Structure 1
C-alpha cells in the first residue's frame, strides 16, 4: 500500500511534474558535476541533463514533467531523486505524488539523538524510556530506564543492543518474567524492521553473533516470523525492587522514522510506581 490517496491521479501527476521542474530549476550544472557550458536562457538544469543523470530518455522525462501517465518505477524515481539531489523529505514526497511506496534506504553513518529528544527523555522522570536506532542499538536513555534495565553506560558495541540484551545478557534475561514471550515478539519485530537493510554487514554481524550465543535465537531466527511494533505489558522481576508491571509503547522518531522512542509507564499492579520511586531515590545520580 502506498502513502498517497487514490483520488484524481491526473492532478497528482501534474503536481509531481511541477515538483520535478522546481527541483531541476534550483540546480546548476556545477551542483551535479557538469560543465556550465554556454549561457542559459532558463534557470537550472536542462531536461536532457536530468535525463542523462538518471539514465532515462529525454522525451520520457519531458512527459513526466508534463504530467503524462507514464508510470515510473521505484528504481526510476530513486534515480531521479538522486539526480536532483532530493533530501529524504523531498524523496518521500516524490514517491507519494506518484502513488508509490517509499523504499527503505539504509542511511550510512552514525545515528544521532538530537537535544530536543534528549530533553523529552529526561522529562519522563517517572517512566523508563530509551531510544532505539535502526538496528535496535540503545542510543539514549533516561535515569528511570538506567535504574530498571541498565547499566547502559557500561555496555559497549553489540552489548548495548536491545535484541542482544534479551537473548545474550543473562542479567537482563533474569529481569523478564515472561522471557520467552518477550523474546519471540522482539525477534519477530526486529526481523520486520531489518528487512529494509537486507545484506547490511552490521545487521548480519549481530545476527551471526546472536546465533552463536543463544540457542533459542539460533532455533527461532530461521522460522522467519514477523510482527509490527506492539504495545502491551512487561513484567519485571528487579533484583532489589522486586516485581513491577509496566505498559510499554513505541513511537517512531526522526525523518524517516528509523529510530524508536520506547516508553514504559508504571501500572498500579505490584505497586510499580512506588517501587520505581524507591529505586530512583536509592540509586545514586
Structure 2
C-alpha cells in the first residue's frame, strides 16, 4: 500500500513505497511506540479491536487477518459469513465421482458441507437447529442408541470428541465454536462428560462398523483428503474393509436406484 492508496501525501525522502510505521499507527488510531512493539512481537496486550483497526488500515483479507491474530496470540473469531456452508461445484463433482464409495466433506467441527449419494444411502444428517448446520456429531449424540448407525458407539464417539477437541485448540474463544460446544453439551450429557475429560486425538484413518436397517452391519475404513482453498475442511472417503461389506454397500446402491430410479431426461429431474 502507498500513501496515495489511503489519501495521504507521499512526503519526501521515502525509503520505501509502502506506508511508514507512524502512518499505519496514525490511520489505526494507536501510538507509534505501541505499533512498533506490535511489529517487533513484544509481549504487549493487543485487543481484538486494535488488531481489527490495523487489519482495516492494511486492507487485510480474511486469511491475513486470521494470521495477524495468531501472531498476536489473540483468539480469532471468524465472522458468521466466513464459516463454510457449502463446497464448490468441482468438489461436489469429485465426491460424486467416488460413488459407490461413500464420501462426505466435513469441516473441523464435523459440519456436513456436502455428501455423495452413497454416503446418503447409509446416513442422513439433518440440520441441527441450534447451530444452523447439519452436523454429524450432533446427530450421533442425539439419536437414540438403537437407531444410531455407528456400531460400538461407546468406543467410536469418544474418539470423535477427542478429535474435535484437537481442532478446538485453534478456535478457543470463537463464538461459533463456543456456542456449538455449549449447545451440544446441553443436548447430550454424555458429550458434556466426554468434553470435560480433555482427551485429545489427532484425526487419522480408522475402521468403523456401521449398521443400516436394510442390510445390517458393514465395516468401512476412512481416509481423509485435504481440499485446496478450504482450510480445516476435508473429504472423508469410506471404503469397504471386506467383500461382505462391499456387497452390502452395493446392495444399498441398488436399493436407492430401485426406490429412486435415475431420470432419463432433464425435464423431470429426480428429487
TM range (shorter): 0.7 to 0.9
Once residues 74 and 96 of structure 2 are traced to their aligned partners in structure 1, the CA distance between those partners, rounded to angstroms, is 33
Residue by residue, what CA displacement relative to the aligned partner does 1:141-176 show, whole Å, maximum 9, x if unpaired?
A: 1101100112x3x54535721111221122786321
Once residues 75 and 97 of structure 2 are traced to their aligned partners in structure 1, the CA distance between those partners, rounded to angstroms, is 32
Q: 16, 19, 28: which one pairs with 2:5? A: 28
Where does the alignment leave 5 or more consecutive residues of structure 2 unmatched? 263-271
Partner of 2:247: 274
Partner of 1:9: none
Normalized against structure 1, the TM-score is what?
0.70
Q: 54, 73, 77: which one pairs with 1:106? A: 77
Residue by residue, what CA displacement relative to the aligned partner does 1:111-137 show, whole Å, maximum 9, x if unpaired?
A: 231122111111111221111234322
Question: Is 2:66–2:76's contact at 8 Å kept on the other side of the alignment?
Answer: no
Partner of 1:251: 225
Going from structure 1 to structure 2, the CA distance change for 1:168 and 1:60 (only over 3 Å counts) comes to: closer
Once residues 230 and 162 of structure 2 are traced to their aligned partners in structure 1, the CA distance between those partners, rounded to angstroms, is 21
Query: How do 1:134-173 and structure 2 match up within 5 A?
Result: 134-150=108-124, 152=125, 154-157=126-129, 158=131, 160-170=134-144
Partner of 2:32: 57
Match of 2:170, SS? helix
Match of 2:151, SS? coil
Going from structure 1 to structure 2, the CA distance change for 1:47 and 1:130 (only over 3 Å counts) comes to: same
Q: CA deviation at 1:204?
A: 3.5
More displaced stretch, 154-163 vs 246-255: 154-163
Larger fraction in helix: 1
Going from structure 1 to structure 2, the CA distance change for 1:118 and 1:194 (only over 3 Å counts) comes to: same
Going from structure 1 to structure 2, the CA distance change for 1:57 and 1:170 (only over 3 Å counts) comes to: same
The two structures, once aligned, show a CA RMSD in angstroms of: 3.7
